[in-house]
Amino acid sequence: MSEPLGIDDPYRFDESVDYRGFSPRISWKVTGNKNAVKQTAYRVTVSNRLKGPLVWDSGVVETDDQFCFIPDHILQSGKTYYWKVGVYSRRTQSLAGSVQANTMSEGETPSFVWSKSARFSTGLLQADWKGE
């Protein structure tokens, strides 16, 4: 896994005037040999600066789903956000894509890899548009 894939809202088909009620879905793809690397959990973090404090943390979510919905209550009008995903797996995978066999014994923690950061921006709400 080298980069997050993107952001969308698969449940909204019409043009949006406001992002309230819009929970963006972010997604990623774990790369490598499918038989050698299997996602068992993820953790997504969102901040409003590349290396700034977090505005949201999903915590560890135990699933092999490679997507996550960001709650709309953390989003503000006209802001840029940075996000990354950490993936837990039963195998060890470096960001370069090499895979090593897992030597975990019972009770040990699975491997964990962070993606590079990606960003998205929110547009201005209708109430925030000002003209002269």
- pLDDT-derived band at 129, boundaries 50, 70, 90: confident
Is residue 42 within 8 A of residue 71, CB to CB? The reply is no
Would the pLDDT of 113 be above 50? yes
Give, for 118, the enclosing helix (H) or strand (E).
Answer: strand 118-121
What's the predicted TM-score (pTM) here?
A: 0.69
β-strand pairing of 92-93 with 54-57? unpaired
What superfamily in CATH does domain 6-10+22-120 come from? Immunoglobulins (2.60.40.10)
CB-neighbour burial class of residue 71 (10 A; exposed 0-12, middle 13-18, buried 19+): exposed
Beta strands in 2-70 (DSSP E): 6-8, 25-27, 39-47, 54-57, 67-69
Would the pLDDT of 99 be above 90? no
pLDDT digits (tens, 9 = 90+) for 32-42: 766 667 889 99
